[in-house]
């Protein structure tokens, strides 16, 4: 029968892995065989109502052993259920659901029950997939796909252009065609790109948030996440065991030396400030309106960097004046981030070190994305200092 032919054909051609997912079967490239074959049958041989048959089992036989389906030797073929990020699997295509092994596998029997049959003859699993856990397991793949695509500026190359073929994109960014195509497929599956027979193109979200010149571009923060945060979180196990920062393992430098690099190297400093600006610019409106701040006449944004939050605050609260207080090396490079408009006159920049210098007077002190950078003892010093200068009420 047509609804089984695809499954048998796949097994015959190299004993390829077949997975059980939500009452359908997927081959290693994530193709829904049953669904595809049934649709063909409906198109070419539409059954009458009285000819509809109900099958207790609508499946291809399970496979007892799995061959290595990767492109290279040494890669694991033990596929697990995952979503869009699995585009970068050894198959290079999307697959989802749990590995379906033989009936003798006790591991699978504990996770799934025998498929049940509903009134339409479609198999359904009595046990639900632990989708949240599976997303956490494979979430890093999606993140890295986004990071690499941003690092290569793929979204910039596709902005304001018609669909482009993978080979053309690869030539533009200087990468392999096969690797680029897999990355593009992953981005398309994640909803970052659109894929048509004509090629790949940006989604509206990619133009707005992922292109480096987008209105609310997160490009800077994505690059910061890839270059700085990713290496640190790779060493999370050591951080938990040792209870210490892992800058020395990730970058070969102490944390204090790393912060010096941020401000002593013009290139690194601009990159870091662009990262802080991109996330602050996007979230500023939500932060500014999270509480009613209309009672305050003045505010001081400690470590306010480019002033993205400060400029949003004075737009939301026209009677508010905001002082951005940050290191001299930061204040000297804020002009390129300054927006246009009369409201900018309500924002002033003052240089200083909030651990060492006196804080500007204000009715309200703001710490946004600051405290997590410092150890508890320094946080205590800073908060005590702010408490001492805060006005009653």
pTM here is: 0.63
> What gap in Å lies between CA 86 and CA 349, rounded to an integer?
46
Which residue bears the tokens 């701040």?
293
Domain boundary residue among 185, 210, 235?
Answer: 210
Q: Inter-axis angle of helices 166-173 and 177-189, to 10 degrees? A: 110
Q: What is the pLDDT of residues 323-336, one digit of tens each?
A: 999 999 999 999 98
Same-domain status, 111 and 157: no
What confidence tier does 50 reach under pLDDT thresholds 50, 70, 90? low
3-state secondary structure of 174: coil
For the chain, the average pLDDT equals 78
CATH classification at residue 308: 3.40.50.150
Q: Which helix (H) or strand (E) holds 322?
A: strand 321-326
Number of domains present in the structure of the chain: 3
How many other CB atoms are there within 10 angstroms of residue 366's CB atom?
Answer: 23
Torsion over CA: 168, 170, 174, 178 (sign): negative
Question: Which residue segment(s) compose the domain that 178 sits in?
Answer: 152-210
Q: What percent of the chain has pLDDT over 90?
A: 53
CA dihedral for 202, 208, 209, 211, sign (positive or negative) = positive
Residues 294 and 344 in one domain: yes
183 shares a domain with 94: no
Residue 308 confidence (pLDDT) above 70: yes
Give 41 or 290, the one with higher predicted confidence. Answer: 290
205 and 128 housed in the same domain: no
Confidence of residue 99 (pLDDT cuts 50, 70, 90): very low
- pLDDT, tens digit, 9 for 90 and up, residues 3-46: 444 444 444 444 344 444 444 445 445 556 666 667 666 776 76
**Domain end marker among 98, 132, 166:** 132
- In this structure, the strands spanning 123-124 and 116-117 are antiparallel
When pLDDT is cut at 50, 70 and 90, the band that residue 110 belongs to is: very low
Q: 216-267, pLDDT tens digit by residue? A: 999 999 999 999 999 999 999 999 999 988 888 998 877 666 666 666 778 8
Pairing of strands 116-117, 24-26: unpaired
The CATH code of the domain that includes 172 is: 1.10.10.10
Q: Which residues are annotated as catalytic?
A: 372
Q: What is the mean pLDDT of residues 357-379?
A: 92
> Is the predicted pLDDT of residue 123 greater than 70, yes or no?
no
119 and 12 share a domain?
Answer: yes
């Amino acid at each position: 029968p047509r609804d089984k032919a695809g499954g048998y054909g796949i097994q015959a051609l190299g004993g390829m892995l077949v997975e059980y997912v939500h009452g359908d079967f997927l081959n290693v490239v994530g193709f829904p065989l049953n669904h595809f074959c049934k649709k063909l049958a409906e198109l070419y041989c539409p059954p009458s109502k009285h000819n509809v048959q109900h099958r207790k089992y609508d499946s291809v036989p399970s496979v007892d052993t799995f061959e290595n389906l990767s492109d290279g030797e040494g890669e694991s073929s033990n596929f697990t259920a995952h979503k869009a990020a699995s585009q970068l699997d050894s198959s290079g295509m999307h697959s989802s659901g749990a590995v379906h092994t033989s009936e003798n596998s006790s591991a699978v029997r504990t996770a799934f029950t025998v498929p049940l049959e509903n009134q339409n003859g479609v198999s359904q699993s009595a046990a639900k997939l632990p989708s949240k856990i599976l997303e956490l397991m494979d979430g890093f793949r999606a993140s890295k796909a986004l990071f690499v695509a941003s690092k290569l500026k793929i979204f910039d190359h596709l902005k304001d252009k018609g669909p482009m073929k993978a080979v053309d994109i690869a030539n533009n960014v200087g990468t392999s065609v096969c690797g680029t195509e897999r990355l593009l497929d992953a981005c398309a599956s994640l909803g970052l790109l659109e894929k048509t027979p004509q090629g790949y193109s940006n989604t509206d979200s990619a133009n707005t948030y992922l292109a480096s010149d987008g209105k609310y571009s997160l490009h800077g923060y994505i690059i910061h996440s890839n270059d700085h945060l990713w290496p640190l979180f790779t060493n999370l196990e050591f951080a938990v065991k040792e209870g210490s920062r892992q800058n020395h393992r990730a970058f070969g430098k102490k944390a204090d030396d790393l912060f010096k690099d941020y401000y002593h190297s013009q290139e690194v400093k601009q990159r870091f400030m662009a990262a802080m600006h991109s996330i602050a610019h996007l979230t500023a409106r939500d932060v500014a309106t999270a509480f009613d701040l209309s009672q305050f006449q003045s505010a001081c944004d400690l470590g306010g960097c480019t002033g993205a939050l400060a400029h949003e605050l004075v737009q939301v609260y026209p009677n508010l004046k905001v002082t951005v207080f940050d290191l001299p090396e930061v204040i000297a490079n804020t002009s390129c981030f300054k927006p246009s408009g009369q409201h900018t006159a309500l924002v002033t920049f003052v240089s200083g070190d909030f651990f060492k210098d006196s804080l500007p007077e204000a009715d309200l002190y703001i710490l946004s994305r600051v405290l997590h950078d410092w150890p508890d003892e320094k946080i205590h010093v800073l908060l005590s200092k702010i408490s001492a200068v805060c006005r009653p009420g």
